[in-house]
Amino acid sequence: MKVLISTDIEGVAGVFHPQQTRAGNPEYERARVLMTHEANAAIAGAFDAGADEVLVNDSHGDFRNMPPDLLDERARMVMGKPRYLSMMAGVDQGVHAVCLIGYHSRAQGRGILAHTINSFAFARVLFNEQELGEAGIYGALAGEYGVPVVMASGDDAFIEEHRPLLPHAVFVQTKRAIGQTSGISLSPAQARSAIRAGVAAGLAQRAAARPLVLATPLAVRVQTQTPALADLFCQWPSLQRLAAVEVGFDAPTVQAAVRMLNCLSAMSAVLR
């Protein structure tokens, strides 16, 4: 059994403030270690469940957050960018199941540090009129490869949003959101223990899990944070201006939609 673990940082126990998610300060240095330890807990859970091989995808920011020397040596690492499959890179390597660690609520959600892909650029992302966050988007990308999400961890708002999309997954709540940058967290040790058990439980029942499959082609609609961003994005001839802060495009596959969203995200840096 080959398992892919995609690890973000905003849903990690003890992480509450944007400063903890951005390189260049001591708070981030501590948070990236917490992220790595939750990844290690997931790796241990995968091997507890009988995995033969584990890939760990560093899925936050510039995709090079977790110190490689702190990761469980039994796993292999997917790090750095650009890469076409982004937060789901590695799913095309014969993977049988995916686990999402440290994930978060979608943009405009009530979860801790909620956003979708790029908090500066995107206010909402909809596929075929269904609003999705990162777990939904990348869960559907895994679904295109026939791979189910069997486990996910994050705060209570993340779980409430994504349980209907991923009904077969085991969810582990690492903290409870009180506000955008406040909440009540498990201790790191408690969170790691719960994640390890959750991954093992999710993999034990993976035979009953079903991939998240969206009907294609997709009509993708993006609400931008400002009209200037919509101006910028419509430099792409294939995008349509739908409203002052809304653009749309069609995509033949989820992978094509993800690649376009990541291109738009990169473009947005022009206006920062």
Within-domain flag for 196: yes
The whole-number pLDDT of residue 242 equals 98
Within-domain flag for 12: yes
Shared domain for 181 and 226, answered yes or no, is no
Shared domain for 235 and 261, answered yes or no, is yes
Beginning with the edge strand found earlier in the chain, give each strand of the sheet holding 240-243 in spatial order.
130-131, 122-127, 218-224, 246-251, 240-243
Cβ-based neighbour number of residue 224 at 10 Å = 23
Q: What percent of the chain is predicted at pLDDT more than 90? A: 100
The whole-number pLDDT of residue 81 equals 92
Shared domain for 68 and 46, answered yes or no, is yes
Shared domain for 78 and 133, answered yes or no, is yes
Within-domain flag for 256: yes
Q: Which of 177, 208, 239 is the last residue of a domain?
A: 208
Q: Are strands 97-101 and 2-7 parallel, antiparallel or unpaired?
A: parallel
Measured CA to CA in angstroms, residue 25 lies from 11, 18, 31, 69, 163 at distances of 19, 11, 10, 20, 34
Can you give the CATH number for the domain in which 130 is found? 3.40.50.10780
Within-domain flag for 16: yes
Burial of 73 from C-beta contacts in 10 A (0-12 / 13-18 / 19+): exposed
The whole-number pLDDT of residue 109 equals 93
pLDDT tier for residue 104 given thresholds of 50, 70 and 90: very high
Shared domain for 38 and 118, answered yes or no, is yes
Shared domain for 76 and 200, answered yes or no, is yes
Q: What is the span of the domain harbouring residue 249?
A: 218-271
Contact 125, 107 (CB under 8 A): yes
Give the mean model confidence (pLDDT) for residues 58-65. 96
Q: Name the domain count of the chain.
A: 2
The whole-number pLDDT of residue 79 equals 95
Q: Which of 190, 208, 226 is the last residue of a domain?
A: 208
The whole-number pLDDT of residue 260 equals 98
Contact 10, 63 (CB under 8 A): no
Shared domain for 202 and 224, answered yes or no, is no
The whole-number pLDDT of residue 68 equals 95
The whole-number pLDDT of residue 70 equals 98
Contact 176, 159 (CB under 8 A): no
Shared domain for 168 and 98, answered yes or no, is yes
Shared domain for 132 and 156, answered yes or no, is yes
Shared domain for 22 and 131, answered yes or no, is yes
Give the mean model confidence (pLDDT) for residues 125-143. 98
Contact 163, 9 (CB under 8 A): no
Q: Which two tokens stand for residue 151?
A: 């486990």
The whole-number pLDDT of residue 185 equals 98
The whole-number pLDDT of residue 4 equals 98
Q: Which of 174, 208, 242 is the last residue of a domain?
A: 208
Shared domain for 150 and 236, answered yes or no, is no
The per-residue b/e assignment along 103-129, b for 16 or more CB within 10 angstroms, e otherwise, is bbbbbebbbbbbbbbbeebbbbbbbee
Shared domain for 129 and 254, answered yes or no, is no
Give the mean model confidence (pLDDT) for residues 63-73. 97
Give pLDDT tens digits for 28-47. 999 999 999 999 999 999 99
Give the mean model confidence (pLDDT) for residues 115-137. 98
Length of the chain: 272
The whole-number pLDDT of residue 98 equals 98
Within-domain flag for 213: no
Measured CA to CA in angstroms, residue 268 lies from 78, 87, 230, 233 at distances of 25, 19, 10, 8
pLDDT tier for residue 161 given thresholds of 50, 70 and 90: very high
The whole-number pLDDT of residue 10 equals 98
Within-domain flag for 50: yes
Contact 245, 226 (CB under 8 A): yes
Average model confidence (pLDDT) across the chain: 97
Contact 220, 126 (CB under 8 A): yes
Q: How far apart are CA 77 and CA 90, in angstroms?
A: 9
